[in-house]
Structure formats: C-alpha cells, structure tokens
Amino acid sequence: MRTGKWFRSALLASLTVSGLGFLSSCTPCVTYTQMCDLIGGAPVGTTTSSGRNVVLEDPGTIAAYHGFSCAESDQRGTEEVLKLEESLEIPRYAGNAAVFLNGWRMNYLSSDHHVGGLGTMISNIRLEDKTLKWQASGVLADKNFDDGYKWCYFYTVVAWNPTNLNLVVDQKDGSCDNRTPSDANFFITDNKGTTTALSSFPSFLFNPDFASGKTVAILPRGFGFKWSSECDTDHHLLQIGVNLDHGEAFVENEMKYKKGFFQDLTPVPVPQPPPADTVNQVDSGFVSWDTYAIFKDNDGRRGYGFGHMASGLGGKDVAVIQPPFSILPHEDTGVFGACLGEASGLQTKDVAVENVPYEYAIPMLTGWDIGCGCDDEHVTEVGTWLDEFHYDKAPNAPAGTLHYKVSSILRDKDGSPGHAYSHKVSILAFKPTASALAPDLIPFSPTGTGPLSFCRLEQNGTLLRVTIKNQGNGNAGASKTTVVFNNQPVTLDTPPVPAGGSVDLLFGVPRNCFSPDCSFRITVDSENQVDELSNEGNNTVGGGCLG
C-alpha cells in the first residue's frame, strides 16, 4: 500500500532526479538514505492547462520558446507527486536545444495548510531527431500528503544551429546511486552545521567541451525543500528563497563540492592521487558556483533538506549578465511588532533592460526571495515566475532592450497580510554585437574622475602623466593623444593598447599654463584612427591643477 509517510521524508529525491515516483511499502517512515529507492516510474497526472509562444527567432540561427503547463492531484487519501512528459518540435535548422526552469506556482485546492515540502524540477532531457523531450515534476504537501493541490511550472527552450552559434550544453541528470556522483547535475543535502535559516551549497559541473569558451552559463532546472528527515513534520511558512549565484570556469583545489545524494566531492586534483604541485584550475572544463537557500517559519532556524538541479551551457558565443543579488533570513515581527506594509495577492513587475550588447538575449529567473509580511502563516498559494519576455534589437544596432514580466504570490486563505518579494533575473546572451567587441579608449586616472584627479604632475610640475585605458573588448591599434593646455595643444603618438590594458604618456606642460592655475583637456584617439563604433563619446575629459 502507498502511504503519505513515504512522502514526508522522500520529497527531495522525487524533485531532483529524473523519473521519480513512490514505491509501494508499508514502512511507516523513510530517512534521507532511502530516498534514492524512489527513482523510476511513469508520468503521473495529466496536463490541465498549458501555453507556449515563440519569443525569439532568427531563422537559420536560433529560436526560443516560453511556456507553462499545469496539473492537479486530488486523490482520495494520499496525493501524487505530479510528473508530466513534455515535448517540442524544434526548427529543422536547429541541431541542438536546451530547456530550463523559469518559474513555478502551486496552491492547495482547499483552504490553507502547513507545508511539509515543496518543489519542482525538469529532468530526463533528450533530443530525438527534431523533438526535444523532457519530464517536469512538482509537489506541494503537508505532513500527511492528503490535501489536493495544483502545480504549474514555467519553462524556456532555446534551439540553435551549431553552424551559426558555438554552444555546448550539458543537461544530463546523473544517478542517485552515488557510483558516479561526479556525473550528477544535481545535489541533495541538508543544512547541517548552519546557525541561521540561510544555507550555502557549492557545486560544480565538468564537461571537457566547456574549455572551448570563457563563459559557462548555469541554467536552473529545479529545487526542492523539505523540513528535516523526521516523520510527521510540517510548519507554517515565513520565508522561502533560492539564489543561484554566478558560475565561474574555475575549480578550487581540495574544495568539497555538493554532488549527487549527500556526497561531498573534491574534483581536483585530477587524476588522483594529487601531484605535489596541484593548484586551482581555470578554463579546464570545470564550472563551479554557490547556491543559497532559505526555508523558515518564525523560528530562527530549523533543520531542512534541500536539493537543486542545473545544466551548463558553454561555448564561444555564450555570455551571462547577472545583477547583484542576495537573500537573508527575515525574522517575524512578534506580538508587538508592526507588519510590513506589503500588498496582498499577486505581485507583478514589468522590467526593461537597455543597452544589452548582444545579438540575442533571454531572461533567466536565477534568484527569488518570498516572505510573509508579518508572522509565519498557513499557505494556500505560493510561487514566482516569468510570465512573458521579448528582446528588441534592430539589425546592425550596437545593443538591444530586453523586456520581461516577473510575478510572485504567497498567501493564505484570507490573503492578508501581503507578501514581500525580490527577484534576480540574469540575462542569458548570445553572440556579442560588433560594438561589444570594439575597443573603447578613455583617459583614466587611478585616483578618480574629477578634474583634479587628472592633475598627475611630475618633475617639479614640468610633465603631466596621462593614462590611456582600453576598457573595451577589442584591441586598439596605434593612435594619437592630445592634451590642450590653455588652448596650446600637445600631441603624442600612442602605441597599441590591448583590450583591458593601458599605457602611460608624459606630456610637457607649457611654462605659461599656470596663471595661477593650469587647466587642460585630454583627448585620446584625437585623430580618430581607432574604430570604436559607438564608444567614441568618452574620449575627452577635462582636468586642472591648482597653482
């Protein structure tokens, strides 16, 4: 027979490995170590609503789709972990595709309840001819897992022509048997050793093909939370949050990373045993990052389990723009505290990001923080997701504008008080525009940007040191730099400046410049020898020295 107590300790595994389902058992309770027995099983549930739109397409090169699907579990007795089999026909020109999670939403079908665990994920991704297939699963439950619920997930698919876009994707699942945990694209662990509700979990992916590019984007595919490994555990909810921090093509020597089922791996040195001179590695096929999580009620800290799954997207044409973001535990306001004046119900923001210097751009919901505006509460509905997006860029334009709509909800049956929320939407970008690869020469001072910062006199005030910096992504050829001292121009040859580099020149200061002060104007590339495309407007700066 199937019992709700299987769910109480087994949620995380059901959310972080492909094809998860319940086993028939009379065991009254399972521990974390038994969760891997739940791998396998057919899809459960049918789609109750869905939608999908093409949000970006450059025929012959790339197509992107954004969609959602919903399902319900409303059983007599124990509910089901919902699992939907999904597919999408990609264009004939596309040779590969990736799918990632871009939001989730779930609610109890009757009243409000405690939360024992919740989560959603995307797994079992495969491309069969021109059909991309995957499985999506989700769950919301209290300790008895006997209350019906509705679950929706939001996803984005990117399909591309490898001839026109140099990309490589790693979106395998891995296995929970821990025979090869380094191959797992997920981890399942707990918050042991923490003193607050905030946890930090380092992880990594390894794919030799990642070494072909400088950037690897970490694509979110799912998460799961569950209160501790104890039976009969559920609580009110005050706050829930996840922050998928930025990834780097870097792996740390002797660092322990979370991989697979409760495994701490040290991926370098490779091979084992380590040579005496092993050090950290960059651009060697590794990408590492930290995932932060919060799951709490009014208590400052409770034990919880957490799982997370991700894919890696590398190659020479991929980039990630990621805004700063952090999550911190909230505390309840207490009996005498004042509740936060947050709006109740669904909260939606329309956002525009200008000057994105890439041919194609797609938003990714990589961080979110949702909390009740006062004390912890029962939950009727919770979630956060991207509703829609589009990228506007005219042909041959140096940059485009990304528009997206992000929503969140957290409510009990009364819908009051409201909820606080914040989001991190990273930009998954492809193929820098010509302006993104152009040099950008500027006058630079290490002491600041004000006029006096450029007063860098030497040899008793007879020489002025001028630094020419190339803050662009392309190398700058030879040019000329001119300093005009009180209408007296002095021009010097400037050698080539590599991207990110700088050179210093010394200009003779005319004797009559100080009267009593000396003002001057610095212009780099003063004869327009370097093609900076749209970056020409910052070549001149005013400076001055006090007499």
| Cβ proximity of 10 and 33 under 8 Å | no
Q: By three-state DSSP, how is residue 450 classified? A: coil
Give pLDDT tens digits for 429-469.
999 997 777 899 999 999 998 999 999 999 999 999 999 99
Residue 493, amino acid: D
Residue 284, pLDDT score: 79
**How many other β-carbons are positioned within 10 Å of the β-carbon of residue 363?**
26
User: Hey, CA dihedral for 41, 44, 47, 53, is it positive or negative?
Assistant: negative
User: What's the rounded Cα separation, in Å, for the pair 265 and 244?
Assistant: 19
Higher pLDDT, 535 or 393: 393
Residue 231, pLDDT score: 61
Residue 369: band (very low, low, confident or very high) from pLDDT cuts 50, 70, 90: very high
Task: Name which of 261-270, 423-432, 519-528, 532-541 the model is least confident about.
Answer: 261-270
Residue 490, pLDDT score: 96
> For every residue of 488-527, which 3-state class applies, written as one string?
EEEEEEECCECCCCEEEEEEECCHHHCCCCEEEEEECCCC
User: What's the rounded Cα separation, in Å, for the pair 502 and 494?
Assistant: 10
Domains and their CATH numbers in the chain: 33-332+344-430 (no CATH), 441-545 (2.60.40.10)
pTM for the model stands at 0.80
Residue 283, pLDDT score: 67
| Cβ proximity of 474 and 439 under 8 Å | yes
What is the total residue count of the chain?
Answer: 547
Mean pLDDT for the stretch of residues 233-254? 90
| Cβ proximity of 331 and 300 under 8 Å | yes
The bridge status of strand 358-372 relative to strand 304-314 is unpaired
Which H/E stretch holds residue 15?
helix 4-16
User: What are the structure tokens assigned to 442, written together?
Assistant: 């500027």
The residue among 328, 393, 387, 384 whose CA lies nearest residue 360 is 393
Residue 5, pLDDT score: 39
| Cβ proximity of 43 and 65 under 8 Å | no
Chain mean pLDDT for the chain? 86
Residue 277: band (very low, low, confident or very high) from pLDDT cuts 50, 70, 90: low
Ramachandran region, residue 37 (left: φ > 0; alpha: ψ -120 to 50; beta: rest): alpha
Mean pLDDT for the stretch of residues 283-299? 91
Among all chains, which residue has been given the structure tokens 């780097």? 248
Mean pLDDT for the stretch of residues 302-319? 93
Mean pLDDT for the stretch of residues 257-282? 69
CA angle, 444 then 445 then 450, to 5°:
100
Q: By three-state DSSP, how is residue 362 classified? A: strand
User: What's the rounded Cα separation, in Å, for the pair 524 and 261?
Assistant: 57
Residue 354, pLDDT score: 96
CB-based contacts of 164, cutoff 8 Å, min separation 6: 60, 61, 62
